[in-house]
């Protein structure tokens, strides 16, 4: 079998391994799914998204990001800053394209909605872990970032506790939107984290301390945005506790 044919067969099998057929897995796309609600941007996403072969699944790109995180952790002490930068960029591009592909080709799934933000966090924390053990950033930053992600466990625990205490069942949101919606500052903090990581890595590569210092400030701004995001999640839960 031709190499391209083998690759396509592997991707198709991998796609089915992620779960079922189209009717059962794919969810409708709404305007709230787009990071930029602009007709030109949506048209751009459609052009880029349909450039991908139909057998490529967004979740495959998300799993690629998780695999990259695993490699980064296992090779933390061996990777050069250039290798670290390349793998971080590849992981970032997978994050960019999995969302575009899901929206453009109508391949949004519940699995993808859960895995995508998880893979984003894993990538950021994997890179920051490497920078921490190399002494490029303070461990305190990692601790603060981890504490700001406590809503991932706290909100479901609060919801289940409320349902059990009140004897009620889970209900959909009154505005009809998905309850698993990122808050505004959640996206802001991620941008700051990414800029911080890139600045620190490039600064170490070219031995420019000014970029490393600037990356540290971006990291602080990201943590500040994370604190606000945590407050937003808690306020949203107070309004809709179950």
Tell me the pLDDT tens digit for each residue of 216-225: 999 999 999 9
Is 14 domain-assigned? yes
pLDDT of residue 6: 46
Is residue 101 domain-shared with residue 140, that is, in the same domain?
no
Rounded to 5°, the CA angle 41-91-55 comes to 70
Is residue 99 domain-shared with residue 142, that is, in the same domain?
no
**H or E element at residue 108:** strand 108-109
Residue numbers of the domain that contains 89: 1-109
pLDDT of residue 237: 74
Is 79 domain-assigned? yes
Is residue 78 domain-shared with residue 168, that is, in the same domain?
no
pLDDT of residue 199: 95
Is 192 domain-assigned? yes
Q: How far is CA 129 from the centre of its chain?
A: 17
pLDDT of residue 215: 95
Distance CA 49, CA 134 (A): 38
Q: Are 226 and 207 in contact (CB under 8 A)?
A: no
pLDDT of residue 42: 87
For the chain, list residues with pLDDT below 50. 1, 3, 6, 10, 13-14, 17, 19-24, 174-179
How many distinct structural domains can be found in the chain?
2
Is residue 148 domain-shared with residue 80, that is, in the same domain?
no
Is 130 domain-assigned? no
Six token digits for residue 139: 């461990």
The model's pLDDT over 35-85, given as tens digits with 9 standing for 90+, comes to 778 888 888 888 988 888 888 889 999 999 999 999 999 999 899 999 999
Q: Please state at what angle helix 58-74 crosses helix 81-104, rounded to 10 degrees.
A: 160
pLDDT of residue 89: 94
Is 40 domain-assigned? yes
Is residue 76 domain-shared with residue 140, that is, in the same domain?
no
pLDDT of residue 20: 43
pTM above 0.85, yes or no: no
Is residue 151 domain-shared with residue 236, that is, in the same domain?
yes
CA distances from 24 to 19, 28, 54, 57 (A): 9, 12, 17, 15
Q: Which residue matches tokens 């698993």? A: 180
Is 126 domain-assigned? no
Is residue 141 domain-shared with residue 242, that is, in the same domain?
yes
């Amino acid at each position: 079998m031709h190499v391209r044919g083998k690759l396509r067969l592997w991707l198709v099998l991998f796609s089915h391994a992620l779960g079922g057929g189209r009717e059962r897995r794919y969810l409708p796309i709404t305007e709230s799914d787009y990071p930029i609600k602009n007709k030109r941007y949506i048209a751009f996403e459609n052009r880029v998204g349909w450039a991908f072969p139909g057998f490529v699944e967004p979740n495959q790109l998300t799993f690629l990001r998780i695999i990259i995180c695993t490699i980064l952790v296992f090779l933390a002490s061996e990777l050069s800053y250039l290798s670290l930068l390349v793998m971080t960029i590849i992981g970032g591009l997978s994050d960019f394209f999995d969302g575009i592909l899901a929206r453009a080709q109508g391949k949004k799934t519940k699995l993808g909605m859960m895995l995508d933000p998880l893979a984003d966090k894993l990538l950021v924390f994997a890179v920051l872990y490497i920078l921490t053990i190399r002494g490029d950033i303070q461990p305190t930053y990692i601790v603060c970032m981890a504490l700001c992600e406590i809503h991932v466990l706290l909100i479901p625990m609060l919801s289940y506790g409320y349902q059990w205490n009140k004897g009620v069942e889970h209900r959909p949101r009154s505005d009809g939107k998905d309850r698993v919606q990122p808050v505004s500052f959640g996206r802001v903090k991620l941008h700051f984290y990414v800029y911080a990581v890139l600045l620190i890595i490039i600064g170490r590569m070219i031995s420019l301390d000014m970029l490393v210092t600037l990356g540290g400030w971006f990291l602080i701004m990201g943590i500040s945005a994370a604190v606000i995001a945590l407050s937003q999640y808690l306020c949203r839960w107070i309004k809709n506790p179950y």
